[in-house]
Chain A
């Protein structure tokens, strides 16, 4: 994986010292909270319901054992012994003291990490496929391109005060494991007819209160113009994105209001101009970055395993993904234990995952947008030993992509924006479906829960989505069906009137009953919904 050189390190170190000075001025009172707020936000520090929350960037979701260990140590030293992995492949600490923050950033900088641009109206941490460099179905590893864009977007002088936050995702396979088209810009590395690699651009996707699927805006951008084209996209947005209303300020509204074709026309005009400005980094830079992501030294080994232990076999079936080398798999460590808080891990668990990565996965880990952790390169012959250790640490839940593997935002238990709690709902649903054995019958079913309209829990993209709202001072939950964040991207539709907390759990049960009664062949919940439509589900819920 990528390793900082002295220039990268110097950028991060400079930022730590700058923030230390800002925090000092705030603590001494020479900076007011109003003045301090934009500064702390540029460093990922939010003021939440009960305490400061610090969001740490994990570029394209890739980290090594040393970094994961440091994250665990920070959780123990400065927080309450745990952290929360997010849908942007980042990590959040929920109980941070302002006076510790500069020290935390310094601890992070020691392991080439930071919290830069994890909030604020700037280009955020770039996300990618969590199986990048391992998946059997990818064209190339997307991470060198993501790293090139990471450097370009860090401290960008023109794009630090955009109309709103800006999220970029880079993938390189037809299978979309990163919700690419629900980003402000989605990039897919593709091959053209001449066999050359290039970048296909999508723009104007997003969730939030106005969910939109990004249209494609350019089929093929040559790789030596990648940054220039992105710069053109951003400049048009910075100049013309709406600033009169924070809820209409994302690029999706601009693309929607201008129309895709007019946005494309303006970008192309700016692109032609930018090409003359020479903003593209030297081509050699991409070539410099690529070897950092070269394959580790894979060895041939057994390709089958002993499935006599049914618990182990189930975990293998559920939680491993086919690897490009046939003696390996990518193993998913579920952070969704039954009744647990989705995405949370303790300091001990982080250190354990770090050690297992070192032992079994060439020192590498990935964070999934579904709030789990991946060991990307595990020998098939090591799987049983790995699973045994995970089981002992409560990390062996065999539930990837099942209803128990739900995404949930922190909700009203932590978040200052939330209208309703997400976590208790997630806990009760996983307990109920696990206890009844229904999880297994339902197969792939992506449930996503957001505690407010900002949609951090991706409810629009859930096969089943739940949105918490405030109804006359009471928590109320809207149910929606039919969303997908994968290559068959779709937005979920609301079933009808909302439910109480108990009611929405019953409602989830009912819609899954409809599916089990109606499904044909190997259909997933989503497939059945798409075939039969909303009516039978509505009938079961409200009929």
Chain B
């Protein structure tokens, strides 16, 4: 189905999952709450990710749109979904640049469909940028304070 809203699997440049790429047309957050069969949804910056929490079980893909990389609301949306236990694909789409990749990963994104394809080498470097991190996020990494004090992960 031709749908202007969602990205297609072909648009996904980086993916950190082993399951099949979800190939569903994403619907808006409002539509998702009304349609009991929707399995893919797209969150825009102004949407409240928390309204999706009752439907997480049936969602295979959540796309979070970044119309402009400087609008960082999508980072909170992503983290909120992961904090609520969402395990499906979380795809960053739109104005996603090399320099946003590492933070997006930390906030729970595991697929990336940038408007402009990124240089693979630059992206690989960006994903590997931080050997260690200060804050607890939703990527399960042990933080520097935890390592300093021998905490478990």
A interface residues, Cβ below 8 angstroms from B: 5, 7-8, 10-11, 14, 18, 21, 35, 38-39, 42, 121, 151-152, 154-162, 235, 238-239, 243, 273, 277-282, 284-285, 288
| A235 and B76 form a contact (CB under 8 A) | yes
Q: How far is the CB of B31 from chain A (nearest CB, A)?
A: 21
Q: How far is the CB of A427 from chain B (nearest CB, A)?
A: 38
B133 — which chain A residues lie within 8 A by C-beta?
A: 155, 157
| B130 and A14 form a contact (CB under 8 A) | yes
The answer to whether residues A156 and B135 also contact, given A18-B129, A161-B72, A239-B73 and a CB cut-off of 8 A, is: yes
| A277 and B70 form a contact (CB under 8 A) | no
- Bound Cα distance from A73 to B131, whole angstroms: 31
A283 — nearest CB in chain B belongs to which residue? B149
B137 on interface, CB distance cutoff 8 Å: yes
Q: How far is the CB of B142 from chain A (nearest CB, A)?
A: 11
The answer to whether residues A155 and B71 also contact, given A18-B129, A282-B149, A282-B151 and a CB cut-off of 8 A, is: no
Which of the candidate stretches B7-15, B16-24, B57-65, B99-107 sits at the interface with the other chain?
Answer: B99-107
Q: Mark B62-89, 1 if CB is under 8 A from A, else 0.
A: 0000000111110110010001000000
| A152 and B75 form a contact (CB under 8 A) | no
| B76 and A157 form a contact (CB under 8 A) | no
| A38 and B83 form a contact (CB under 8 A) | no
- Bound Cα distance from A158 to B133, whole angstroms: 13
| B131 and A288 form a contact (CB under 8 A) | no
The answer to whether residues A158 and B75 also contact, given A273-B83, A278-B136, A279-B136 and a CB cut-off of 8 A, is: yes
A238 — which chain B residues lie within 8 A by C-beta?
A: 72-73, 75-76
Q: Mark B37-72, 1 if CB is under 8 A from A, else 0.
A: 000000001001000000000000000000001111
Out of A21, A151, A278, which one reaches B144, CB within 8 Å? A151
B75 — which chain A residues lie within 8 A by C-beta?
A: 157-161, 238
B117 on interface, CB distance cutoff 8 Å: no
- Bound Cα distance from A168 to B134, whole angstroms: 18
Q: List 27 A-B contacts (CB under 8 A).
A: A7-B148, A10-B131, A11-B130, A11-B132, A11-B134, A14-B129, A14-B130, A35-B97, A38-B99, A151-B144, A156-B135, A157-B135, A157-B137, A158-B72, A158-B79, A158-B103, A158-B137, A160-B103, A161-B69, A238-B73, A238-B76, A239-B48, A273-B83, A277-B83, A280-B136, A281-B145, A281-B146
A162 — which chain B residues lie within 8 A by C-beta?
A: 72
B70 — which chain A residues lie within 8 A by C-beta?
A: 38, 121, 161
| B76 and A239 form a contact (CB under 8 A) | yes
B143 on interface, CB distance cutoff 8 Å: yes
- Bound Cα distance from A10 to B102, whole angstroms: 16
- Bound Cα distance from A17 to B100, whole angstroms: 17
Instruction: Count residues of chain B with CB under 8 A from any CB of chain A.
Output: 37
B147 on interface, CB distance cutoff 8 Å: yes
A284 — which chain B residues lie within 8 A by C-beta?
A: 145, 148-149
Q: How far is the CB of A37 from chain B (nearest CB, A)?
A: 11
- Bound Cα distance from A151 to B145, whole angstroms: 9
- Bound Cα distance from A239 to B79, whole angstroms: 12
B144 — which chain A residues lie within 8 A by C-beta?
A: 7-8, 151
A5 — nearest CB in chain B belongs to which residue? B148
The answer to whether residues A159 and B136 also contact, given A39-B99, A282-B145 and a CB cut-off of 8 A, is: no
- Bound Cα distance from A531 to B131, whole angstroms: 59
A18 — which chain B residues lie within 8 A by C-beta?
A: 129
A273 — nearest CB in chain B belongs to which residue? B83
Q: How far is the CB of A269 from chain B (nearest CB, A)?
A: 10
| B73 and A155 form a contact (CB under 8 A) | no
- Bound Cα distance from A342 to B148, whole angstroms: 42
- Bound Cα distance from A161 to B133, whole angstroms: 18
A280 — which chain B residues lie within 8 A by C-beta?
A: 136
- Bound Cα distance from A288 to B136, whole angstroms: 18
Q: How far is the CB of B57 from chain A (nearest CB, A)?
A: 20
| A161 and B107 form a contact (CB under 8 A) | no
B105 — nearest CB in chain A belongs to which residue? A157
Q: How far is the CB of B127 from chain A (nearest CB, A)?
A: 13
- Bound Cα distance from A14 to B13, whole angstroms: 25
B100 — which chain A residues lie within 8 A by C-beta?
A: 161
A8 — which chain B residues lie within 8 A by C-beta?
A: 144
| B149 and A288 form a contact (CB under 8 A) | yes
Name which of A158, A239, A281 has the most chain B CB atoms within 10 A of its CB: A158
A21 — which chain B residues lie within 8 A by C-beta?
A: 125
B45 — which chain A residues lie within 8 A by C-beta?
A: 243
| A7 and B137 form a contact (CB under 8 A) | no
- Bound Cα distance from A243 to B74, whole angstroms: 13
- Bound Cα distance from A277 to B140, whole angstroms: 11
- Bound Cα distance from A161 to B104, whole angstroms: 11
- Bound Cα distance from A32 to B106, whole angstroms: 27
